[in-house]
Amino acid sequence: MKGRIVVCVLAASVLMTFRPTHADTLYLTSLEWPPYSSASMPSQGVSVAVAKAALESMGHELVVEFFPWSRAIALATYNPKYSGYFPEYYYESEDFLFSDPMGKGPLGFVENVDNPVEWSSLSDLTSVRIGVVQDYINTEALDQMIANGEISAQPVMSDAQNVLKVASGRIDMAVIDSNVLSYLLESDSRMAMAIGKVQMNDTLLVEKELYIAFKNNAEGLKWRDIFNQGLTNIDVDAIMAENN
């Protein structure tokens, strides 16, 4: 009996070594961007499923609250309740610390089936009417050309609006993640008139990695390090495949 007690004590001490001393709750903001993030999806989207699994592997809980994108960023910046927002593409920032990559998404253009656009460099798009989503990061080169007025871009509040504008011929193309386009066409009833009228352009802009943007303070640094460690404990690709 004494030997069994010693074994139990040793086992308990080993478990305590690998478990956090107490569980905390991380609050992040996000947006309706299925299949990556959505309050209406069972797993709240593939990116949320990955983030929750990583945090749970470290003994912590993740609560995600959904807002329009601009508000999600503003709340993550100024509201002390939230330690960051996601999913985001990497960009240079003094306000946020970026996690390790938590997945990828193919970024390109949705175009009208009857009016496909051939291009090989962004300079080929100077006469093309392009839609973007307000406050989305696209690519550094594209965003710089839009800012400089070299490319004409019309901002809207959502990818769905852009898809409908392309389908109706009001713009030639719109920046979008191909997985987002597929999900919208398959699952969003608003897209009925766009089915068969839009497609992804053959040329991708880039395969973009996805991140959590944590506040650039002590709390954000703590959560970033916890999350990054949690990512090493899980199979990101398997979780994304299971929840897609």
Task: Tell me the two tokens of residue 105.
Answer: 């998404």
189: which 2 tokens? 């009833």
Better-predicted residue by pLDDT, 221 or 15: 221
Bigger pLDDT: 237 or 60? 60
Which pLDDT band holds residue 15 (cuts at 50, 70, 90)? very low
Average pLDDT on 41-62 reads: 96
Q: Right CATH number for 22-103+210-243 from 3.20.20.70, 3.40.50.300, 1.10.110.30, 3.40.190.10?
A: 3.40.190.10
- Residue limits of CATH 3.40.190.10 in the chain: 22-103+210-243, 106-206
Superfamily for domain range 106-206: Periplasmic binding protein-like II (3.40.190.10)
pLDDT mean over 113-139:
96
pTM tops 0.75: yes
Residue 7 has pLDDT above 50, yes or no: no
* pLDDT beyond 80 at 142: yes
d(CA 107, CA 109): 7
What digits encode the pLDDT tens for the residues 74-108?
A: 999 999 999 999 999 999 999 999 999 999 999 99
How does the average pLDDT of the chain come out, rounded? 91
* Confidence (pLDDT) at 244: 73
Number of Cβ atoms within 10 Å of the Cβ of 153: 20
Q: What mean pLDDT comes out for the span 16-30?
A: 73
pLDDT at residue number 3: 45
Are residues 165 and 156 in contact, defined by beta-carbon separation less than 8 angstroms?
Answer: yes
